[in-house]
């Protein structure tokens, strides 16, 4: 995820949390801040460019929760993965998060609301890969990525 995109997300977070705080919903304000902070720590953490898939999935989950609040729960997300195997698989940092972010933006531009995003990790193959799909009604688009 590029620095420009992180800056956009941070600015949006500040607007979202101030609006939520004004409505005196302190629990929701605290929740969105916690989700974002966990995601942001992962995003800026120094690494050699690779992370375990488990760490990436945890950061992705935080980012998904932030996005759901930001977009008013207009979509659902399902993550399908083997928790035990995720800790032994290395992945390029932010690869899954970027793929989710791209699918979310395309789906929002096409549907605006009422769509599903699915993220499926297949770790049992010689070349582990994951796919991100978005769907509404009978239409589905799926993109596949190698690790």
CA-based torsion, 112, 129, 59, 101: positive or negative: negative
Q: Whole-angstrom Cα distance, residue 1 to residue 48? A: 15
What pLDDT was estimated at residue 53? 93
User: Looking at per-residue confidence, does 2 or 21 come out higher?
Assistant: 21
Local structure of 37: helix, strand or coil: helix
Q: What is the mean pLDDT of the chain?
A: 89
What is residue 56's predicted lDDT score, i.e. its pLDDT?
A: 94
pLDDT tens digits along 90-112: 999 999 999 999 999 999 998 88
d(CA 92, CA 64): 19
Do 77 and 116 meet the contact criterion of CB atoms below 8 Å apart?
Answer: yes
Domain range summary for the chain, segments of one domain joined by +: 3-146
Q: Would you call 88 helix, strand, or coil by DSSP? A: coil
The pLDDT value recorded for residue 112 is 81
Helices (H) and strands (E) in the chain, counts: 5, 6
**pLDDT at res. 123:** 86
User: Which DSSP symbol is given to 1?
Assistant: -
Position 76 scores a pLDDT of 94
pLDDT-based confidence at 1, cuts 50/70/90? low
Q: How far is CA 29 from CA 15, 66, 103, in A?
A: 11, 11, 26
Predicted model pTM: 0.89
CA angle 78, 75, 83 (to 5 degrees): 15
Element (H, E) at 57: helix 53-70
The single residue listed with the structure tokens 């930001």 is: 70
Task: Give residue-wise pLDDT tens across range 8-39.
Answer: 889 998 898 888 888 877 888 899 999 999 99
For residue range 48-81, list pLDDT tens digits in order. Answer: 889 999 999 999 999 999 999 989 899 999 998 8
């Amino acid at each position: 995820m590029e620095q420009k995109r992180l800056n956009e997300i941070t600015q949006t977070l500040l607007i979202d949390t101030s609006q939520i705080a004004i409505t005196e919903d302190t629990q929701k304000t605290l929740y969105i801040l916690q989700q974002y902070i966990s995601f942001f720590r992962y995003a800026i953490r120094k690494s050699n460019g690779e992370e375990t898939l488990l760490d990436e999935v945890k950061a992705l989950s935080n980012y998904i929760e932030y996005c759901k609040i930001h977009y008013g729960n207009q979509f659902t997300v399902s993550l399908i993965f083997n928790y035990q195997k995720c800790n032994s698989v290395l992945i390029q940092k932010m690869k899954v998060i970027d793929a989710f972010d791209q699918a979310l933006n395309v789906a929002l531009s096409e549907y605006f609301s009422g769509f599903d995003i699915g993220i499926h990790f297949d770790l049992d193959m010689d070349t582990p890969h994951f796919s991100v799909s978005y769907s509404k009604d009978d239409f589905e688009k799926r993109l596949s990525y190698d690790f």
